[in-house]
Amino acid sequence: MPNNIIFNISALSIDDILSGWVKQFYLHGIHPPQVDIMFDSFRERDDGSMDDSQLCFAVFVHKHSGEPNFVYPEHDYAWGYVVHQQFDQACYFVWIDTEGNSTAVSEPMTELCPADVEYIICLIEYLRLLGQAQTHTRSIAAKN
């Protein structure tokens, strides 16, 4: 791999990373396997009606999501709802419009240290970007 590939992960905010993952999930049905993303609801208007132009997605990050080969486990359910294990995972809510553009990101709901969760998110994104760069580099080398 060329030595001139530099990643400036610190230039991305946690909101940018989460919004990017949700946009990919909404538009293409894909997300990093270390996290789980699911549709939560539509934004509620002041009058109580649902605004179907504003979608909300839950992004779950497990305390082990940063470990090699980690794949997000199945959720526990009770009465048809996800049981959020706040001592094992963080949950962010990301709102997007119908084109996939983020309109808001919540603070994490968790008992984990927020700085640790942010580190895990940055690590997952760094490895995702590194993998894309390695794939791109191999495809360029194969053409030569």
pLDDT in tens, 84-107: 788 899 999 999 999 999 889 999
pLDDT at residue number 134 = 53
| C-alpha separations of 115 from 7, 98, 108, 122 in Å | 20, 31, 11, 11
Q: Please tell me the distance from the alpha carbon of residue 10 to that of residue 80, in angstroms, as a whole number.
A: 38
pLDDT at residue number 3 = 43
User: Which structure tokens are listed for 99?
Assistant: 């084109």
Give the angle 11-127-97 at the CA atoms, nearest 5°. 60
Structural element, H or E, at residue 120: helix 114-143
| Residue among 2, 4, 21 at smallest CA distance from 128 | 21
| Residue among 93, 29, 98 at smallest CA distance from 57 | 93
Answering whether pTM is above 0.85, one says no
pLDDT at residue number 37 = 95
pLDDT class of 29 with cuts at 50, 70, 90:
very high
